[in-house]
Chains A and B, each alone.
Chain A
Amino acid sequence: MKMIEQEKFWGTRKIWITIGLFWMFALQGVRAETPSDGFEKHLQLATMNAGEMSHEMSHDNHNAPESHSPGHANSVYQIDFTWETQSQKKIQSSDLRGKFQLVILAYTECSHACPILVADLKHIEGLIPKRIQEQVGFVFVSIDPERDTPDQLHQFSKKMDLGTGWHLLHGDSTAVMGMAALLGVKFRQEPDGSFSHSNLITLLDPEGKIVFRLEGLQQNPDALVHLIIENA
């Protein structure tokens, strides 16, 4: 009786061990093919190790689009600024929660980089698969609140043919400065009234945590898009 029981014992387990070994070897191959480590790891770290990150990452080489979060794991929506959108609706930063948000700081009078930055965002918009389009939003924060009134922003969104997923935000100087400080954007007003600013696209996850920073114009957005698709 015992012999038969023993056989039964090992019988089932032999199967599991074989399956286990099979998966081990199968997955080795798969793992080697996934895109290089970096951004995914940081997304996971961002959600897991809220208090443990002692590492700070500053802005990266703009030839290597894999960027790292500024190192904190908290939502930027904690600082809940008030804004007025291009439809003259009053919203809070936290109202942006629930979707991925791609954020830029720019202004409408800008002739060189800002149109390119907006085009970059539209290009990313085109790369988002239809099924998750509802989960991705685009945010344009104006650093020129004086000239970029909600009405002006509305004109601009028409001119640039921006869809319903876009929020163009007007805020007071404290809100703009605070947003810039939270996202690590640099900007300055020149004596002639124009602005200089860093070209940066920040990806916030639905919680409002910074999970990707794409610095520079016309950068390859593949890693960023991949991140959204993986986690949507």
Chain B
Amino acid sequence: MKLIWGKLFAFIGVLLALVINPQSVSGRELIKIPPGSYQSAYRNEGDPVQVQVDGFLMDALPVTNDQFFNFVKDDQRWRRSARNDLLADSHYLSHWKGDLDPAGPNHYLDSPVTNVSWFAAVEYCRSRGKRLPTINEWEYAASAGLTMREGSGELGFNQYVLDWYSRPAPPVLPAVGNSAQNFFGIGDMHGLIWEWVLDFNSILVSGESRGDGGLERELFCGAGAIRSANVNDYPAFMRFGLRSSLQARYSVNNLGFRCAADLLGSGINEND
């Protein structure tokens, strides 16, 4: 009986959190993520199932169009008209009305900025004294549920995450901060956009997912076989798939980013 009540409360908690608890957290806030571990969707043979992650700092919310505008205002090399084709492809900031006009019909100013390349994201974070999160950091932060440390243990969590992939793109990309924060205090990890990570190009899968059970020795030199550790984690497969399809200069209409920082000695620049 007790078990049922516990699950029921958790379920109601999740529902409430999803439905009536939108919080807008200042995107300037850096959240401290404690050290811990998570189950990666892909891992090498012989690796432990749980991946250990050191503590770090992470933006509570993705970087918005407004914040990115402040960046290009100061650094004209990253304005759309000054685009260097080596560092950003022709989709770069294509949703903005102009070089210094971040508005557009399909987004708000505080929607997450998209159509930015990895180079642009790296440079933005560097200018704020931060950096991009690594895959492990991002996936670890994303594995948290709303009320529990482990999202997979929460009723309705997996379906909620998976549902984003079934929905068509919204006509207007919503603003950040309108979904509940997760257990770590981070928001919008699911259901809004894909996000760049620092080592996006460390995924050695060929895109031929039926063959990705073993490391493709022709294409990749490496120690072991990549295996999927959790066959039910479809959202994670899709994130890995998306990352492996990217090149650093790509700008994609639903791919944005947020910044992270090391716990010690971070020269955080709050002037954006």
Residue positions of A touching B, CB distance < 8 A: 50-51, 53-54, 56, 58, 62, 70-76, 78-79, 106, 110, 112-114, 117, 177, 180-182, 184-188, 190-192, 194-199, 215-217
**How many angstroms between the C-alpha atoms of A224 and B221 in the bound complex?**
22
Are B86 and A75 within 8 A (Cβ)?
yes
B interface SS class: loop
Q: Are A181 and B218 in contact (CB under 8 A)?
A: no
* CB contact under 8 A between A194 and B223, given known A56-B89, A79-B86: yes
6 nearest A-B residue pairs (beta carbon): A196-B222, A113-B221, A181-B248, A188-B202, A74-B86, A72-B85
Enumerate 24 A-B pairs (CB-CB under 8 Å) in ascending A order.
A53-B90, A54-B90, A56-B89, A72-B89, A74-B84, A79-B86, A106-B221, A110-B221, A112-B217, A114-B221, A117-B221, A177-B199, A180-B201, A181-B118, A184-B201, A188-B202, A190-B44, A190-B224, A194-B222, A195-B221, A197-B204, A197-B220, A198-B221, A215-B219
B86 touches A56 (CB 8 A): no
The interface bits of chain B over 82-101 (1 if a CB of A lies within 8 angstroms of the residue's CB, else 0) are 00111101100000000000
* B245 on interface, CB distance cutoff 8 Å: yes
The residues in B between 239 and 253 inclusive whose CB is less than 8 angstroms from any CB of A are: 244-245, 247-250
Q: Contacts of A114 on B, CB cut-off 8 Å?
A: 221
* Given A181-B248, A186-B204; A62-B219 close (CB under 8 Å): yes
Q: Does B215 contact A (CB under 8 A)?
A: yes
Given the known interface contacts A186-B203, A186-B204, A188-B199, the answer about A196 and B221 at a Cβ–Cβ threshold of 8 Å is: yes
Partner of A198, one of B89, B220, B250: B220
B47 within 8 A of A: yes
Hey, which chain B residues are within 8 Å of A73, CB to CB?
A: 85
